Amino acid sequence: MASYQLELQSPPSDERSFELWLQHAAGRIIFEDVRDYAKGKMDPNLSSEAKAAAEKAINDAVYGLMMVIDGVAGSLRNGQQAVEISAVVSLLNRSSGEVAAQLDLREGDGMCMGYHGWIEGDFGEDPIVVDDRNAGSACDA
């Protein structure tokens, strides 16, 4: 299921919990809209071995994305310049479009750290979406 089809839960008010919630929300979006999208595109007639290989490749690609977001990989450099990618997660006020809070994910706890829980369907203590049972992603069923 695409992330836009899910209803966002209200964030926690505690500052540390809120920061973690934002990071888990970013992970949830990536897992719904990147990982689950790719898993949903797999041929349903694949053998179990081919399906396992495809799922491993998808998971490895998502982990590679997490390394780029964390700044572990993903830069081009020469003697004077560098090009890097920055990923920011923002909480927006839907009525005004105003940014209520924002976090550069490189400054967070680490998307690679979150990945290991997310792969198991654990998106933190505070629910990201309404009726989120942290029971895994849509394509895991």
Q: Where are the domains of the chain?
A: 15-74+84-120
Report the C-alpha gap between 36 and 136 in whole angstroms. 10
Nearest to 31 by CA among 137, 141, 140: 137
The whole-number pLDDT of residue 137 equals 43
- 94, pLDDT greater than 60: yes
What is the average pLDDT score of the chain? 92
Residue 131 — pLDDT band, cuts 50, 70, 90? confident
- 82, pLDDT greater than 90: yes
- 66, pLDDT greater than 60: yes
- 106, pLDDT greater than 90: yes
Provide mean pLDDT across the span 32-41. 96
Residue 139 — pLDDT band, cuts 50, 70, 90? very low
The whole-number pLDDT of residue 132 equals 62
What 3-state class would DSSP assign to 82? strand
pTM of the model: 0.88
